[in-house]
């Protein structure tokens, strides 16, 4: 039996296309591309060149995050349906927290001191600033980012006072993990794909009416961001629960592209969110035919690239690299980020996830 109660021999009769082969796809490459899209979008902020290209209310970084959430929604929903809630939560925590905490320590213990010395010629006063290194780690260690600077660094750059403008999304992603954990505990959700579709449509309805809801929540930032991002995640979940019926093929890819474009460009206010399942389907379909280097197939450095890109960009900016302009700055930042992302994968993410799988 599959996670949704379908016997394996029934699958070929139900699929219009092929299911996603978990061992033969280019999702690692696509997520890495999305991470570098975020890096490129942030380059405009870091060098002081505006917000960069975008459309329909999102810059390239925002669309990349939407893609991340869609792919995550697909994969995480599958993980929940294939695991009891205990192992599921252990796996999710092992995937997101250790590398995140190490990133906080690297920023506080290496990046910030270097920037502080560049600003003050010594470390005198570094540990007595309003946002001390230890406090910056403790304040942010539970994913909710409440402190962006460390000891007043970075300063003297076009985008001062923030070491990492990417980490804030992880809090909302983990909330989505918890949402799927809850939904996956309901027998009806495991038996039928329709409750997930209903949850997705409800999330779109909430976002479509966010202006009416905001006053009741005093324009709460967390609620606003969660309402904005949950539809992308549940869009991927919708594709997952219907995957055994529709499969992945080029006809579906073309249809998803047309429908996504229709939603995004034809509906103001909530079209981006309504397009979420089609965006997720499109990315998953691309992953079935896009060639991927064997090294990328085996090693997923996309998460490390996502969490280290911004601090690497800011450290380069501290030493004046923002004068190079957006394009050369982006190339230099991407090249400098890869070693950090690789180290994060090999030394933290991969070993911790292996331990978590063995223990559960």
Give the C-alpha distances (Å, rounded to integers) separating 10 from 5, 151, 329.
Answer: 11, 60, 52
Across the chain, which has 360 residues, the per-10-residue mean pLDDT values are 44 59 92 98 97 91 97 97 95 97 98 96 92 95 96 96 97 98 95 96 97 94 97 98 88 95 95 98 96 94 98 98 97 98 98 93
- Is 182 among the domain residues? yes
> Which pLDDT value is given to residue 360?
81
* Range of the structural domain that residue 59 is part of: 8-359
Contact by Cβ (8 Å): 133, 115: no
pLDDT recorded at residue 17: 67
Could you tell me if 115 and 153 are in contact, meaning their C-beta atoms sit under 8 angstroms apart?
yes
DSSP, collapsed to helix, strand or coil, labels residue 54 as strand
pLDDT of residue 83: 93
Q: How far apart are CA 9 and CA 11, in angstroms?
A: 6
Judge residue 200's burial from the number of C-beta atoms within 10 Å of its C-beta, 0-12 exposed, 13-18 middle, 19 or more buried.
Answer: buried
- State pTM to two decimals: 0.93
Please state the three-class secondary structure of 200-213 as a single string: HHHHHHHHHCHHHH
Position 98 in a domain: yes
- pLDDT for position 359: 86
DSSP 164: -
Token match 């949704």: residue? 4
Dmax over Cα atoms in the chain, in whole Å? 71
Does residue 299 belong to any structural domain of this protein?
yes
pLDDT of amino acid 11: 43
- Asked if 235 and 276 count as a contact pair (C-beta separation under 8 A), the reply is yes
Q: Is residue 39 part of a domain?
A: yes
Assigned token pair, 264: 């995004």
Residue 16: what pLDDT?
A: 57
- Asked if residue 3 belongs to a domain, the reply is no
Per the CB < 8 A criterion, the answer to whether 176 and 73 are in contact is yes
Domain count, the chain: 1
């Amino acid at each position: 039996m599959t996670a949704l109660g379908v016997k394996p021999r029934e699958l070929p009769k139900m699929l219009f296309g092929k299911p996603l082969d978990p061992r033969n796809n280019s999702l690692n490459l696509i997520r890495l591309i999305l991470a570098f899209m975020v890096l490129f979008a942030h380059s405009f902020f870091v060098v002081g060149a505006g917000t960069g290209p975008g459309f329909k209310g999102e810059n390239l970084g925002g669309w990349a995050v939407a893609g991340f959430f869609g792919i995550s929604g697909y994969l995480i929903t599958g993980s929940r349906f294939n695991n009891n809630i205990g192992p599921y939560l252990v796996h999710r925590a092992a995937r997101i927290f250790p590398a995140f905490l190490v990133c906080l320590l690297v920023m506080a213990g290496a990046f910030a001191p270097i920037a502080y010395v560049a600003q003050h010629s010594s470390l005198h006063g570094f540990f007595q600033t309003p946002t001390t290194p230890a406090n910056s780690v403790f304040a942010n260690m539970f994913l909710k980012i409440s402190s962006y600077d460390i000891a007043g660094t970075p300063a003297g750059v076009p985008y001062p006072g923030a070491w990492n403008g990417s980490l804030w999304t992880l809090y909302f992603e983990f909330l989505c993990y918890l949402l799927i954990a809850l939904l996956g505990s309901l027998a009806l959700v495991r038996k039928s794909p329709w409750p997930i579709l209903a949850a997705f449509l409800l999330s779109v309805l909430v976002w479509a009416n966010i202006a009416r809801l905001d006053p009741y929540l005093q324009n709460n930032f967390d609620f606003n961001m969660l309402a904005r991002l949950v539809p992308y995640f549940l869009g991927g979940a919708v594709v997952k629960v219907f995957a055994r019926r529709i499969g992945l093929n080029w006809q579906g890819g073309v249809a998803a592209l047309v429908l996504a474009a229709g939603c995004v460009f034809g509906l103001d206010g909530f079209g981006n969110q309504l397009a979420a399942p089609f965006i997720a389907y499109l990315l998953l379909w691309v992953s079935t035919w896009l060639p991927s280097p064997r090294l990328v197939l085996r090693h997923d450095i996309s998460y490390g690239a996502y969490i280290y890109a911004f601090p690497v960009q800011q450290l380069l900016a501290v030493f004046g690299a923002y004068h190079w302009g957006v394009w050369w700055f982006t190339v230099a930042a991407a090249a400098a980020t890869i070693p950090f992302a690789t180290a994060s994968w090999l030394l933290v993410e991969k070993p911790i996830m292996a331990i978590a799988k063995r223990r559960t």
